[in-house]
Structure 1
């Protein structure tokens, strides 16, 4: 006390230091408590109505940031109030968030894929019908291909048509095809329709088999083909000279297996450009034209 009385300026200096320390403590209580520095830089701040420069605020730890809301300066208080919701937000646990996403994401993806891949009930029925129809058509094609390579040796007829092998129970009579019959049938197709399309070759074989079935024509393949004034290759000798090619053999096998390019009541055909006798053209009913041949019933 004696020192203070003798040196009054020392007491004044100590008082100023205490006032400064108290002011710092009031402005930044968190810094004094925690020993960490948080700076608030205010430049060109005026107490009057003059212009004020923007405040530059540097925040420290989360605890200090929460305490800054107690600052009495108007602008600092407003900034603290605006930022206070952010300070109160709890920290996210990134490890837990990653685990949640890892568990949820695959399940979501699997559900979406399952929903996308699962067809509607009507679509499933259509797919089943399509698959069944496809299998049936494939089976039929395979059967036809097999019979075309190995044609049947027995033909089954009703009174109006040639029956398939599966319809033999409906037959009124049957015909055994010999090797001579098969070769003769191939040769007549080759002689009559060598330059015709494949469908035209099958149609010529159909006409011969239709005549074989009909009561108005002979009852064997040989007699049908050699009937007088019916097939021109027989009369001019071409039938004996020709050798059946692969297309003619295939067409005959198809006709014997039940493939039909003309109806079962088709008994005639001729080439309008080459025929000298057009009696059939004027007296019979037109069926269709394939290549250069016109077919009649």
Structure 2
């Protein structure tokens, strides 16, 4: 076979393969028979823009069969923006079946905001129940009350973009439970009428600014916890006891210091007394020499000292 003919055949094969690669003829035929008007050039343009045609055509077919008025350009723009086209179309179909007003731009914005738009439509049709963790609150009598609530919510389509999520709902319900229980005079009032919690909390409009609408708040469980008031009083008494002990220890230390100071003073006085007594014989001798002390005066002084010593010995014997 001539080499030129072989080259022509190869070129033709390459052109055919390239044609079917860039021109999804089968997808175009499927769209045509499904009532979706799309040109071959549009499909080729998608490939050039690195958009997989099936990700646009299949949702478009689904939307057309459901009676939605969408365009290829809107779907492709949403896909290029990073959205989930199939999810948005499914949400629009579900909203249409449930008679919920939901436009494509609104659904696309919800999807691009990171929320599950199909789940939002489902929750709007079929409300879901959010269960709070155990909420601990204390009544005025000091008794702890543990409450678990179930919150029935319905998605608010209009506030899905920019609205707070489930965490905010749970936080607000927890705050409302704590406030309601804390305002009760006795914990028994809460146990006898647990519905007072749901009524008060529900009346506060906790769903304001959130992506949900609170339909009901039901108390699932309520239990008695610790006696917080008694525990606080015990802790206060223990603290007062430690303060009193510290003050007593301070007074004892001051008394010991004063006692030591007095002992030091006594020792100093005794040393001075001993020093003074040691000078008495010299003073008596000086008095004799100067004539200021006579012999009779000296004997009288000795007699007085002897009499004093005798009295001290007698008193010590009586004390024994």
Normalising TM by the smaller chain, what interval? under 0.3
Larger RCO (alpha carbons 8 Å, 6+ apart): 1
Q: Which structure's CA Rg is the greater one? A: 1
TM-score, with length taken from structure 2: 0.21
